[in-house]
């Protein structure tokens, strides 16, 4: 991660303002105003709708990077060869393994009532889960693309542009607050949790200078959700067949 850059060009300033102010405010507003009901979408339609904004933001990022002469390495995408970056990858691996073991133990200890509640929650998910191999591949591709994009924008890009203007501590706080707020507001606990997790990720990037381990951790959430839902659905189907 670069420690200093030239004063940002106007495109950089405008894009930074969008990420820090406009985007989080839009997400907060939408979280407080229910969207009108629409006909159910197929999984592929739902995934494409989620991917459109990400693709537009990536296109804008590429343009701004060219104008500002930034490189992918400036955004924390260099090969993780530093000690801190390698430690980050090791931490990501340990965390994922620990979460996998913990989830397996929790599933084995679930009571029938807890399993029934879990199956009901799966049926009420607000997004479509993939059903075919092609839908599964599309889901994995788009979710990994989306999570990587958020890391690049709100960690790599903002911590490239903000520190020369605000200093690193305030830059970390601003970037974390913007991304946490972009998750919307449901209740105080959810909002505080989003800010806290975002702050932890942003501090992790500031300390390591590498995004790769954070991308792995971030992408693991929707990927693991897919396999968890699959296990729950298979368990429910087996229970229905034996009834």
What digits encode the pLDDT tens for the residues 16-30? 999 999 999 999 998
Helix (H/G/I), strand (E/B), else coil: 229: helix
Domain that holds residue 68: 10-31+42-242
Closest CA to 215 of 228, 224, 227, 205: 205
Q: Is residue 93 part of a domain?
A: yes
The per-residue pLDDT for 82 is: 84
Domain count, the chain: 1
Closest by CA position to 213, among listed 88, 97, 65: 88
- Answer yes or no: is 158 within a domain: yes
Q: What tokens appear for 11 in the block?
A: 């495109």
| pTM score | 0.86
On whether residue 91 sits in a domain, the answer given is: yes
> Rounded CA gap, 217 and 151, in Å?
10
Return the CA Rg of the chain.
20
Report yes or no on 1 lying in a domain: no
Ranges 83-87, 186-190, 239-243: which has the least confidence: 239-243
Residue 202 lies in a domain: yes
């Amino acid at each position: 991660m670069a420690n200093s850059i030239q004063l940002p060009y106007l495109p950089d300033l405008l894009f930074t303002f969008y990420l820090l102010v406009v985007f989080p405010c839009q997400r907060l507003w939408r979280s407080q105003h229910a969207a009108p009901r629409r006909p159910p979408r197929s999984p592929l339609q739902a995934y494409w709708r989620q991917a459109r904004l990400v693709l537009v933001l990536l296109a804008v990022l590429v343009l701004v990077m060219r104008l500002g002469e930034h490189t992918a390495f400036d955004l924390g995408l260099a090969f993780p060869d530093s000690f801190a970056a390698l430690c980050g990858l090791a931490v990501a691996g340990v965390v994922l393994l620990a979460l996998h073991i913990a989830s397996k133990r929790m599933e084995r200890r679930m009571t029938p009532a807890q399993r029934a509640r879990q199956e009901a929650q799966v049926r009420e998910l607000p997004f479509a889960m993939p059903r075919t191999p092609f839908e599964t591949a599309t889901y994995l591709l788009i979710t990994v693309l989306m999570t990587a994009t958020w890391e690049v924008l709100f960690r790599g890009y903002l911590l490239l542009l903000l520190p020369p203007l605000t200093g690193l501590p305030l830059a970390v706080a601003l970037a974390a607050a913007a991304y946490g707020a972009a998750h919307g507001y449901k209740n105080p606990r959810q909002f505080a949790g989003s800010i806290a997790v975002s702050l932890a990720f942003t501090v992790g990037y500031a300390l390591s200078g590498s995004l790769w381990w954070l991308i792995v951790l971030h992408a693991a959430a929707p990927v693991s959700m897919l396999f968890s839902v699959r296990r729950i659905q298979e368990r429910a189907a087996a229970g229905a067949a034996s009834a």
